[in-house]
Structure 1
Amino acid sequence: MKAKFKIATGVLALALAPHVVAAETKLSYSSWFPGNSTLHTKSLTPFFDRVTADTDGEITFQVFTDGTVSGGRNTLQTIRDGVADMGLLATSYHPGELRTSAWLSEGSILVRDALVGAGAYNEMIFQNCPACLDEMEEQGIMPIAYHATPPYKLMCNKPVESADDMAGLRVRSLGSWASWVNAAGGTAVNMTVPEAYEGLERGQLDCVAGNTAWLIQMSLYDVVSDVSDMNIGTFAGGIPINMNMRSWRDLTADQQTAFFKEGALAAVDVALEFAAEDDEALAGAGTHDLAVIEPAGDLTAAFDAFAETESQRMLDLAYQRGIENAEELLTTYKALLLKWEGIVDELGGDRDAMAARIYSDAMPKLD
């Protein structure tokens, strides 16, 4: 099947004629995050409520959390096959199916913070990466909004302070973090976020590279004793809002527009609410016997030296994966990161202003 997406006059033109739907459509959503996590309570649930309000009650949602329908690695298949209409996806779990967008997510070390990542990644995918959209359509899925998280840190069951402390560490890490861990003398372990708790508990892991909000969301307080207080990059490439293509085609143009507008706000909410919970998790370190370790100069210097090689590493990886026009794509993405650093600095993290800018600059508009 030829792709039904095309980039035209700066917007995404969808060659999918929306249908007229019945008075009410109930969409199912599959998530492998806990239902009481900030992702749901502060971002997704408000998003669902806003879409229902915007569509005068015509669109409602049935949400399944905690991996009851599918886990992190098989949610793509769950949506593609119509088992669920929507679901929580992460590009990094699907480097084969979502080859180009997963490769762009490899550039975590290049991303300053979550708001910058949310703006730049959405604009990159929807306005500058036809291959990314083609790959999503091949899976029968319509992307609606991508998110980024606050900077990752190392959460461990032993102190990690110096460069020497990295030797032999088994670290749950993906993408650029996995490359850094291996280069630093550790061993990267490929696990989903929910699997990391069990990995630490069973002694299969020494550390997790992730958001300190996971200390609360995924109960990592129970299995972590130390946090290295060093920012190691921001994950951009979560797809919390997407839809089975057949379900998407059944929506009216106005309903589709509501998804994009509210999706832009949801992307901002993920960034802001995760950042707030990151701070909350670190503030509660003392009550959980958690040590927050200031990294030594040799550890930060070693990380900074690795970061300087990131662009070349990404290009080498693109060659290995057969990604076309990689240098042009990476140049564009880095320019967008600089653009959105300026926007975030200008807007000062204002929620509504950021959402409006992501919608105007990044989100698809229906022809």
Structure 2
Amino acid sequence: MNTILKAGALACALLSGTAAAATAEMTLRYVEGSPNRGAKSRALTDFGNELAKLSNGELEIEFHWGGALLKWGAIFDGVAAQTADMGTLIAAYNPKELQGQGIGDLPIGESGDAWVGSRALHELLTTNADMIDALARQNIVFVGAIHTTANQVMCKGADIKGVADLKGKKYRGAGIYSHALSDYGATIVNLTYGESYQALDTGLVDCSQVLLYSIDPYKFWEIIDQVLIIDWGQTAGIVAGINKDVHDRLSDSQREALRKAGDFLTDRQAEYLIEEDLAARAALEAGAYGRPVEVIHASAEDEAILDEISKKYIDDWKTNMAAQGYDADAAYAQYLELLDKYARERDEKGYPWTR
């Protein structure tokens, strides 16, 4: 009988050890709506490699690109319900549920700088109790901030001199940026970003919102004749998030590895975007696209107009955030302080990857 008991105990111990080994390693399914190309996908791939390294191989990322598992509009629900473990969450698709992170949508101060804006959002979403709770209510934990770079304006045949000349122009924009310009007097034409080329080429629109690094791959340089540099916020509050149940099942060391990898992602994606943005600016200024494109830099008057037409949408965010039971004024004030903090750090020390 003792021999049988000992054998049984040994078998249990071996099975227990096997189960422990099996649960020590985990593959996290990450859904991303865009194809596997560009700054964001490069940064996400680096993030996956960094997480594997920091967790000693215990955590690996299996990426599902281009809506292969979930389309953009379904990613939030999919991550919240654990159809996927992780994903890129865009506040514009789920404005009520992702109201907190939607602060990243707002055209405030230096938020258009990819590093300053993402760093400020990252710290806000990891230190502000209301912001953490707002995501936790949706069964989401923030991992890292993702930026788009600042919004600019490109035109064809519009002969604009500044923001004031957008009144009466047919304009393609997105989110609060199109709403604000509509309030100002522009005629908004609802099109996707990918439809901007044909719309400008055919005269369906006079001007369009643009991210400078997209001018080359989308071949906008073939048709536009003006670019107005306004550095007006960013297009969307975007984050990498993880299902909270999955997050809570991780060990302490795995959660710490994920935290550090998310911090890495925030800086790495900003680095890639800023490199592409600076290259696009240099190409425009040097006339490197092979045809003339006039570059107009925003004046103090332009900045004053943009600040004025943005106020309503900042107030709307505060109202909607407060309606969910949160201290919106405190979160907004902290975000402003963080934008100033990281802008000063950039000005004094440069970007982290240049130090």
Provide TM-score, normalisation by structure 2: 0.79
Cα distance, 1:351 vs structure 2: 2.7
| 2:169 aligned partner | 168
| 1:228 aligned partner | 227
Cα distance, 1:276 vs structure 2: 1.0
Kept after mapping to 2: 8 A contact 1:201/1:223: no
Task: Give the root-mean-square deviation of aligned CA atoms.
Answer: 3.1
Distance in 2 between residues matched to 1:93 and 1:145, nearest whole Å:
18
Kept after mapping to 2: 8 A contact 1:120/1:333: yes
Matched, 1:88 2:77: no
> Which of the pair has more CA radius of gyration?
2
Structure 1 residue matching 2:232: 3-state secondary structure: coil
CA distance 1:158–1:251, shift in 2 (3 Å): farther
Kept after mapping to 1: 8 A contact 2:80/2:140: yes
| 1:245 aligned partner | 244
Structure 2 residue matching 1:99: 3-state secondary structure: coil
**Larger relative helix fraction:** 2
Matched, 1:197 2:198: no
Structure 1 residue matching 2:318: 3-state secondary structure: helix
Cα distance, 1:277 vs structure 2: 0.7
Kept after mapping to 1: 8 A contact 2:152/2:211: yes
| 1:272 aligned partner | 271
Cα distance, 1:257 vs structure 2: 0.9
Kept after mapping to 2: 8 A contact 1:171/1:189: yes
CA distance 1:289–1:144, shift in 2 (3 Å): same
Cα distance, 1:35 vs structure 2: 0.6
| 1:117 aligned partner | 117
| 1:293 aligned partner | 295
Q: Deviations over 1:51-81 (max 9, x none)?
A: 1112222222221212223333321112122
| 2:53 aligned partner | 53
Higher mean Cα deviation, 332-341 or 155-164?
A: 155-164
Q: Deviations over 1:80-110 (max 9, x none)?
A: 22222111112233211112331x2242232
Q: Deviations over 1:264-283 (max 9, x none)?
A: 12111121211111233344
CA distance 1:197–1:222, shift in 2 (3 Å): farther
CA distance 1:242–1:173, shift in 2 (3 Å): same
Q: Deviations over 1:208-232 (max 9, x none)?
A: 4242122356x35388624523123
Mapping for residues 251-266 of structure 1, pairs under 5 Å: 251-266=250-265
Distance in 2 between residues matched to 1:307 and 1:127, nearest whole Å:
27
| 2:63 aligned partner | 63
| 2:142 aligned partner | 143
Identity across the alignment (%): 21
Distance in 1 between residues matched to 2:334 and 2:344, nearest whole Å:
16
| 2:328 aligned partner | 326
Provide TM-score, normalisation by structure 1: 0.77
